[in-house]
Structure 1
Amino acid sequence: MAPSPLKPLAALLLLACLSILATAETTWLSSDSSYPLACAGMYAKSDIPTPGTDAWIRVQFSDLSNGHIAMVIYEHQDLQYIGATYSDDELIEDNEPKYICDTSAIASNICTNSSLGSFLFSLPPSLPLNATSIYTKTFQFVYTSNGVVTAEQGASYQVSRTGYYCVVILTTRTKDPGAPFFEADIDWQNSYGELPAIEYPKIWFYGLFSILYLVIGVLWMIQSLRYWRDILTVQNYISGVIFFLMVEMAFNWAYWQNYNINGKPSWGLLAMVVITNAGRNSISFFMLLIVCMGYGVVKPSLGSTMQRCAALAYTHFAFGVIYSSGTMLMDPDDAGIIIVLVIFPLALTMTLFYVWILQSINQTLTVLDLRRQTVKAIMYRRLYRLLVFSVGMVILFFFLNAFNFSYRNTPGWAARNWKWRWFMLDGWLNVLYFIVFFVIVVLWRPTENNRRYGLDQLSQDEDEAMDLENRLRAAEGLGFEGMKNRTNGAGGALGDDAIIFELGGDELSDEEDGKGGAYRERGRSAGGVGMSGAKAVLQVESIDVEAAEEQYVFGP
């Protein structure tokens, strides 16, 4: 008997469990294909939350098809029933079962002449074929002088339960003359619309997050209006990010909803999704970085450092656009080395952001501890724990995904993971981002105590202020050389170790009271420290090494 393509069919059917998931509503197959099979997840009508039509798998052959063709459609769980074994195991090459009834199978009493050219099955005696998900059909295409004559050129299969379905089409060599050949279009028609089943959860996912960010935005706006006089610069940044997130989630939802209705992606919406997604990540990292540097809380300005932060954010945005475009347009199974080239630049800038952020928040915490600004220090420690949590989760999910995808070539992997693959690749990052951002919103929400996070937190007693001077000078030995002292209001420079105290009390002289009740002492001495009711306000300016205009200001 001449060699036929049926010999490697056992491996072929196993590959059906891990084949590339359908990325569109229609799959094209040909007898010239390396593996003439197609698989996709399908949702039954009863398993979708909205009213819909029945789910169908439709196979339509082209007029070029010729010869005897066998087709089988099945849900992955019933793969075990496809194929039959010889009664004498010695007749089986490599112990492979037989999948198509041919003359050798008939001779071995596996099948009869009436089943010639059909698929074979091994079912328990108590399980009839119609009780499984398996549907099989044979087609006979014969050329005549008038063209192709055949009773049917297609088949329809109604999906009654949610699962991972495969279609296998094979040409068989019977007594018909000529080389058998086929071309077929397979239409996966789900109950909810035209979107591939692996992408369907994204409609609800992005719709839900659009509502969540809208609720956060409304609550944030209410709080901002209540305390608008005390709004900090950082809180204005957060307001902008919240609005940006609402827009981004809305574009994501619109893209997938439009895809589901029309059966093809909208390039305009796709461009907006790519840009807003990359912008969201870049703006968030930028905002987090300057907050961890103490902008608006410890420092009124970042000088040239702000430009470096912006440059990193712009670079991250550019790589983010490339990454988002790649993940939206390329199948990870087909991309190969290209997907690595797409991911690596983004991973590099993200790593730089994380390292810089953690380094900055550690330095800010050191400064706050030296200045004994406990309220700010507590808030920054909470932020630090949140960042450590996010880094830990990113690392954890990276290894979990790497471990999971390392088994993608094993039988049954695609069938087990098709429902959750979108979440492993994209969904969990959005969930983690939401958790981190929500905690930041709670920590930095506008309240009546906004001023405690501003630049005017006061030292409450004279002994603390005097001790703080010594601690700040000692900080220079820890690498904070930028801490210098402020020039006075008249323009005269104070000494390197000079500080300014404003002392006020109930026992001022008449002359001092007539001049406004203000008494200033310059230098290291604290002559007025012993006065009852005195308040010390330390004003310290931190001169940046590269931009000598950055200041640490404490005092009204």
Structure 2
Amino acid sequence: MRRPGGGGGPALALAIALAALVARGADASIHEYGGGGFKPRANSFFFHGGSEGLYASDASSNSSASFIRFDSVVFRRTPESASRHEDMQQKTGLVEAIIVEIQDRDKIGGSYLHSDAICCTPELDKERSCKVGEVIIRPNPDNPDGPKRIQTFFDGRNEETSMVPQTVTVNKTGMYYLYFMFCDPQLKGLKIIGRTVWRNPQGYLPGKMAPMMTFYGFMSLAYLALGLLWFIQFVRLWKDILQLHYHITAVIALGMCEMSFWYFEYANFNSTGTRPMGITLWAVTFTAVKKTISRLLLLVVSMGYGVVLPTLGGITSRVAALGLVYFVASEALELVENVGNINDFSGKTRLFLVLPVAVLDATFIIWIFSSLSRTLEKLQLYFNATDPLSELWQRAWIIPAFWNVLSYALLAIICILWSPSRNPTGFAYSEDAGDGADEEGLSLVGSAVKGTGDMVNLHVFPEDKRA
């Protein structure tokens, strides 16, 4: 087994995450654009403006409309690009905002015209299939509202142009993506500044995160009920309390605080559209502390602490070191996932922080199961040697049965998640793949699911083979 070492790597990851978070603020459903550049794809250039699950507006209820609002979005081109035109010229550069629902992703680009192009070419223009200089969009007869395009032009030699502030109402439930795109190579180097506001009928929480607010509310009450029952039993038998019981009490208290903080964080997010930095940091910290203590508690119980071992002896320092390193790595990952824009970090950045946590989780699993195996052997020898006529033989079936039930439950979950479907490759392109795999030893911890711009690109532009 690998001996846990120092925390240099996770500490560096935490420092990088904190620096990035401080630099970009704490906006979420309000997506800020601070001078980002456009990336080339096929014969176009694009900027990922955000993606969220939105519910359709319900005119029959008293709830607000679901919308995407463009607030003071400004495009800034280079002086070299502006100098190529005359002062009196009009429409010297076109930038388009494309709003597409995930099921309409195949409507963008020339795949239906048997072309790999995303922007219209002179050849396609001759066929009257599109207009040169515009993104190719095929209307969806089943969804007249999408995909939507909003055009903004530069005039003369102006280096800046602004989108007209406007609100796009969402009338269909789905996962929506926003892309800013242009086709003119002379606009290369274009920057975008401003923000867009995304809102569901019940608030600013994205559709995939909205149920979590209710979940955290119920979990807060569940932890409160568990805490009351545990406290009553703790007081009744306080003379027989073991050190292990104090650790269990700490896990319950941390779980109660964690769920409460997450509920208030989501409630504030839902009402304002931004994540409250203070509450979020506390919630993230409680999550990291509880995950660490939960794993440590499961580890020491598996070692037989309080059952066959009065103390951990010489391995105490190793257990503490593993817990400290895990806390630092987990805190860094939770900060990146829960503070700031919900889909700003790329897959590579997140992978850099996920790997240390995955390695440490694997270390915990190996150590727990190897310790549990040795502890069960000691218990079996003890019962066989000291009390061969013990009535415990009537319960001996529980341990092997437990492992069979656990294996069956895991198999059933796998069968449900990976059951045959009409679109089996959908998992390969799912934005949420791998984001909900946060395994807890003694607790359930919900985490918002995060997306990345890189993965979204695969959704919207599957026909581009050269990117």
Report the CA distance shift for 1:116/1:327 in structure 2 as closer, same or farther (over 3 A): same
Q: 1:190 aligns with which of 189, 199, 202?
A: 199
Report the CA distance shift for 1:251/1:317 in structure 2 as closer, same or farther (over 3 A): farther
Asked if 1 retains the 8 angstrom alpha-carbon contact of 2:97 and 2:149, the reply is yes
The answer to whether the aligner puts 1:82 opposite 2:94 as a matched pair is no
Q: Distance in 1 between matches of 2:372 and 2:297?
A: 10
- 1:355 corresponds in structure 2 to 370
Q: Distance in 2 between matches of 1:362 and 1:332?
A: 47
Deviations 1:38-65 (A, max 9, x none): 2412221669xx9853222234531636
1:364 offset after TM fit, Å?
A: 1.8
Q: Name the SS for the 1:131 alignment partner.
A: coil
- 1:221 corresponds in structure 2 to 231
Q: 1:318 aligns with which of 310, 325, 348?
A: 325
Query: Match of 2:152, as an amino acid?
Result: F
Q: 1:32 aligns with which of 15, 31, 38?
A: 38
Q: Distance in 1 between matches of 2:64 and 2:123?
A: 44
Asked if 1 retains the 8 angstrom alpha-carbon contact of 2:118 and 2:136, the reply is yes
1:308 offset after TM fit, Å?
A: 2.1
1:172 offset after TM fit, Å?
A: 3.9
Q: 2:155 aligns with which of 116, 137, 142?
A: 142
Unaligned runs of 5+ in 1: 1-21, 87-91, 436-556
Q: 2:74 aligns with which of 59, 62, 73?
A: 62
Q: Distance in 2 between matches of 1:349 and 1:238?
A: 18
CA RMSD of aligned residues (A): 4.7
Q: How does 1:371-390 map to 2 (within 5 A)?
A: 371-372=386-387, 374=390, 382=398
- 2:128 corresponds in structure 1 to 109
The answer to whether the aligner puts 1:334 opposite 2:348 as a matched pair is yes
- 1:160 corresponds in structure 2 to 171
Q: Which moved more, 1:307-316 or 1:158-167?
A: 307-316
> TM (normalized to structure 2)?
0.64
- 1:71 corresponds in structure 2 to 97
Q: Name the SS for the 1:203 alignment partner.
A: helix
1:218 offset after TM fit, Å?
A: 2.0
Report the CA distance shift for 1:402/1:356 in structure 2 as closer, same or farther (over 3 A): farther
Q: Distance in 2 between matches of 1:173 and 1:282?
A: 52
Tell me which structure has the larger Cα radius of gyration: 1
Report the CA distance shift for 1:232/1:384 in structure 2 as closer, same or farther (over 3 A): farther
Asked if 1 retains the 8 angstrom alpha-carbon contact of 2:54 and 2:173, the reply is yes
Higher relative contact order (CA 8 A, sep 6+): 2
- 1:207 corresponds in structure 2 to 217
Deviations 1:94-128 (A, max 9, x none): x41554445433322324xxx5544444457xx27
Query: Match of 1:333, as an amino acid?
Result: G
Deviations 1:288-320 (A, max 9, x none): 455455555556x33xx3452464145224323
Q: Distance in 2 between matches of 1:332 and 1:351?
A: 30
Q: Distance in 2 between matches of 1:222 and 1:425?
A: 34
Q: Name the SS for the 2:371 alignment partner.
A: helix
Asked if 2 retains the 8 angstrom alpha-carbon contact of 1:70 and 1:139, the reply is yes
Q: Distance in 2 between matches of 1:31 and 1:366?
A: 67
Query: Match of 2:177, as an amino acid?
Result: C
Query: Match of 1:32, as an amino acid?
Result: F
- 1:446 corresponds in structure 2 to none
Asked if 2 retains the 8 angstrom alpha-carbon contact of 1:42 and 1:164, the reply is yes
Q: 2:383 aligns with which of 345, 368, 391?
A: 368
Report the CA distance shift for 1:179/1:159 in structure 2 as closer, same or farther (over 3 A): same
Q: Distance in 2 between matches of 1:210 and 1:391?
A: 30
Report the CA distance shift for 1:344/1:232 in structure 2 as closer, same or farther (over 3 A): closer
Q: Name the SS for the 1:318 alignment partner.
A: helix
Q: Distance in 1 between matches of 2:414 and 2:427?
A: 22
Report the CA distance shift for 1:105/1:96 in structure 2 as closer, same or farther (over 3 A): closer
Deviations 1:67-93 (A, max 9, x none): 12233211011223334579xxxxx8x
- 1:523 corresponds in structure 2 to none
Query: Match of 1:82, as an amino acid?
Result: I
The answer to whether the aligner puts 1:253 opposite 2:253 as a matched pair is no
Query: Match of 1:26, as an amino acid?
Result: H
Query: Match of 2:315, as an amino acid?
Result: R
1:170 offset after TM fit, Å?
A: 2.6
Q: How does 1:473-488 map to 2 (within 5 A)?
A: none
1:208 offset after TM fit, Å?
A: 2.5
Query: Match of 2:38, as an amino acid?
Result: D
- 1:53 corresponds in structure 2 to 64
Q: Distance in 1 between matches of 2:145 and 2:270?
A: 30
Q: Distance in 2 between matches of 1:105 and 1:366?
A: 81
Q: Distance in 2 between matches of 1:231 and 1:78?
A: 61
1:360 offset after TM fit, Å?
A: 1.4
Asked if 2 retains the 8 angstrom alpha-carbon contact of 1:81 and 1:123, the reply is yes
1:399 offset after TM fit, Å?
A: 12
Report the CA distance shift for 1:227/1:56 in structure 2 as closer, same or farther (over 3 A): same
1:142 offset after TM fit, Å?
A: 0.4
1:328 offset after TM fit, Å?
A: 2.9
Asked if 2 retains the 8 angstrom alpha-carbon contact of 1:42 and 1:190, the reply is no
Q: Name the SS for the 1:137 alignment partner.
A: strand
Query: Match of 1:110, as an amino acid?
Result: S
Q: Distance in 2 between matches of 1:312 and 1:395?
A: 31
Q: Distance in 2 between matches of 1:142 and 1:163?
A: 36
Report the CA distance shift for 1:399/1:376 in structure 2 as closer, same or farther (over 3 A): same
Q: Name the SS for the 1:36 alignment partner.
A: strand
Asked if 2 retains the 8 angstrom alpha-carbon contact of 1:23 and 1:196, the reply is no
1:324 offset after TM fit, Å?
A: 3.1
Asked if 1 retains the 8 angstrom alpha-carbon contact of 2:332 and 2:353, the reply is no
Q: Which moved more, 1:388-397 or 1:63-72?
A: 388-397
- 2:448 corresponds in structure 1 to none
1:379 offset after TM fit, Å?
A: 7.3
1:349 offset after TM fit, Å?
A: 3.9
Report the CA distance shift for 1:391/1:254 in structure 2 as closer, same or farther (over 3 A): farther
Q: Distance in 1 between matches of 2:324 and 2:269?
A: 26
Q: Distance in 2 between matches of 1:340 and 1:278?
A: 16
